[in-house]
Amino acid sequence: MLIRSLIGSAALATAAVGGSATPRAAGIEQVGAESAFVALDEIMVPIAGTQRIEGALRARIVLAASTSGDADALTQRLPELRAAAVSSMIEFSRLHATALTAVNATQLRSDMMVALRAADPAVSTVLIIEVAATRT
């Protein structure tokens, strides 16, 4: 799978320049070598201010599953998983996001992990590939 090869290439490149190839060194949960990945389309939700829509919160996420069989099952349930992710992002946007401050990706990931694991326990972790809050 393309995502697996990109992640592996990034780890090799990091090791080649003298960095640590283990994500734990950066405080990130390690994904197993046998993991399989399922990408969701970009999600965009509004950032509501007190009187109007102030901006948009956008994120691209990838779900990691323990096995390729679990990844196939996640692929079959993508509409439900996307709905859980959108719901989680709307709640995060309502409580924590503004168009003028940096997005707390750690909190967003934590919130999404809870929502997506409730939707399907085969989700082993959530990887946020890109996140941004933009002003309208």
Q: Which helix (H) or strand (E) is 63 found in, with range?
A: strand 53-65
Q: Which two tokens stand for residue 58?
A: 């956008």
Q: 83-121 pLDDT, tens per residue?
A: 999 999 999 999 999 988 999 999 999 999 999 999 999
- Domain residue limits, the chain: 1-30, 33-135
From its phi and psi, is residue 27 left (phi > 0), alpha (psi between -120 and 50) or beta?
Answer: left
pTM, whole model, 2 decimals? 0.75
Q: 69-78 pLDDT, tens per residue?
A: 999 999 999 9
Q: For the chain, what is the largest distance between any 2 Cα atoms, rounded to a whole number of angstroms?
A: 51
